[in-house]
């Protein structure tokens, strides 16, 4: 077999791997993040709910956000909220509360289009407008971005340079696992600088290393699927063995077990979307007590952020 070493050297992922992960070994904090979207905007349900119908759907994100903000307030937790521009335009009061209660406002794009389904000009327009909308409504700088469904993969690595160009300081849009919809298993597992000449940071979702591969350990459906004790142990392992902060994420609809069920979805989609919704809130309460959490800004940019 012919191996073209020139091609390997030019592979962006091997370039990422040559640069060390950012030293966060002394930080006691982990990053708590929420992707602010409503139950009908989820990628898995997209084939069943056209965007034109979004305005006609019952809004549940407001009351779910009320519970989340109260939960964080009760536990003294600060978090980062990756918010859709669509949500900010319709429910500015949600954005005002995020900012007013001392959390970090960040971008989840305009209307939940996957980054890898967009051309470079469309993606540029989307992330530029989303940043402007959120900054206008929130009255604060928006530095962070998370792609819909972690849709920055090998196919569209250019998206990271677009984000840097637009003025984002970091992204949390990659997941170092094998998954049918996303993932770059061989990428760095912890925060790193994708570009040699820039401080733009990519912060992957947390994985735990076992049996020679990475396993998801940072939230989403996995948080509902695995027993809490296993989830907790995985995060403890990352803290003890890797000595790095964890990056955790969930969605407001994941605490809403009475949300309307969408007809016609596959078994896989139903499991991913609806499994153990009634348990999420209790698990979150435990998680907030078992580990120390803060916003991405506080965990990774503490030098430029007010100390907690």
Interface ranges with Zn ion (CB under 5 A): 35, 37, 148
Of 37 and 256, which has the nearer Cβ to Zn ion? 37
Please, what sign has the CA dihedral across residues 290, 295, 300, 306?
negative
Please report how close the Cβ of residue 160 comes to Zn ion at its closest, in angstroms.
18
- The closest alpha carbon to 182, from 221, 144, 155, 146, belongs to 155
Of 170 and 291, which has the nearer Cβ to Zn ion? 170
**Where does 27-171 have alpha helices with state H?**
61-75, 85-90, 92-100, 120-138, 158-166
Of 16 and 82, which has the nearer Cβ to Zn ion? 82
Angstrom distance (rounded) from CA 108 to CA 1: 43
Of 24 and 80, which has the nearer Cβ to Zn ion? 80
Please report how close the Cβ of residue 151 comes to Zn ion at its closest, in angstroms.
10
- The closest alpha carbon to 90, from 63, 62, 69, 67, belongs to 62
Please report how close the Cβ of residue 181 comes to Zn ion at its closest, in angstroms.
12
Angstrom distance (rounded) from CA 218 to CA 206: 5
Please report how close the Cβ of residue 274 comes to Zn ion at its closest, in angstroms.
16
Of 35 and 242, which has the nearer Cβ to Zn ion? 35
SS (H, E, C) 165-226: HHCCCEECCCCCCCCCCCCCCCCCCCCECCCCCCCCEECCCCEEEECCEEEECCECHHHHHC
Please report how close the Cβ of residue 16 comes to Zn ion at its closest, in angstroms.
24
Please report how close the Cβ of residue 251 comes to Zn ion at its closest, in angstroms.
7
Of 22 and 36, which has the nearer Cβ to Zn ion? 36
Residues in the chain: 308
Helix 277-290 crosses helix 228-237 at what angle (to 10 degrees)? 40
- What value, to the nearest 5°, has the Cα angle with vertex 294 and ends 290 and 297? 155
Please report how close the Cβ of residue 24 comes to Zn ion at its closest, in angstroms.
25
Taking CB atoms, the residue at the shortest distance from Zn ion is 35
Please report how close the Cβ of residue 81 comes to Zn ion at its closest, in angstroms.
12
Angstrom distance (rounded) from CA 308 to CA 303: 11
Of 16 and 145, which has the nearer Cβ to Zn ion? 145
292's tokens:
């120390």
Residue keyed to tokens 């790095």: 244
Of 37 and 126, which has the nearer Cβ to Zn ion? 37
The SS3 call for residue 67 is helix
CA atoms within 13 A on the CB side of 62: 8
């Amino acid at each position: 077999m012919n191996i073209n070493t020139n091609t390997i050297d030019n592979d962006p992922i091997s370039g990422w791997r040559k640069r060390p992960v950012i030293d966060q070994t002394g930080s006691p904090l982990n990053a708590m993040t929420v992707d602010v979207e409503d139950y009908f905007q989820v990628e898995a349900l997209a084939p069943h709910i056209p965007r034109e119908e979004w305005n006609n759907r019952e809004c549940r994100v407001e009351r779910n956000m009320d519970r989340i903000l109260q939960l964080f307030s009760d536990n003294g937790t600060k978090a980062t909220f990756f918010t859709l521009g669509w949500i900010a335009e319709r429910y500015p009061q949600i954005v005002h509360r995020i900012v007013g209660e001392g959390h970090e406002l960040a971008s989840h794009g305009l209307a939940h289009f996957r980054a890898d389904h967009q051309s470079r000009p469309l993606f540029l327009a989307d992330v530029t407008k989303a940043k402007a909308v959120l900054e206008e409504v929130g009255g604060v700088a928006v530095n962070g971005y998370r792609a819909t469904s972690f849709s920055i993969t090998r196919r569209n690595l250019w998206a990271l340079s677009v984000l840097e160009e637009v003025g984002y300081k970091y992204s949390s849009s990659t997941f170092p696992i094998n998954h049918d919809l996303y993932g770059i298993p061989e990428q760095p597992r912890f925060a790193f600088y994708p570009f040699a000449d820039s401080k733009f940071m990519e912060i992957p979702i947390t994985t735990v290393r076992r049996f020679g591969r990475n396993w998801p350990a940072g939230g989403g459906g996995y948080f509902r699927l695995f027993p809490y004790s296993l989830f907790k142990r995985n995060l403890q392992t990352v803290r003890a063995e890797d000595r790095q902060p964890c990056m955790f994420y969930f969605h407001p609809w994941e605490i809403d077990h009475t949300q309307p069920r969408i007809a016609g979805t596959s078994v896989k989609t139903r499991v991913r979307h609806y499994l153990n919704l009634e348990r999420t809130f209790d698990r979150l309460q435990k998680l907030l007590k078992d580990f120390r959490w803060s916003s991405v800004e506080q965990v990774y940019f503490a030098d430029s952020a007010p100390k907690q």
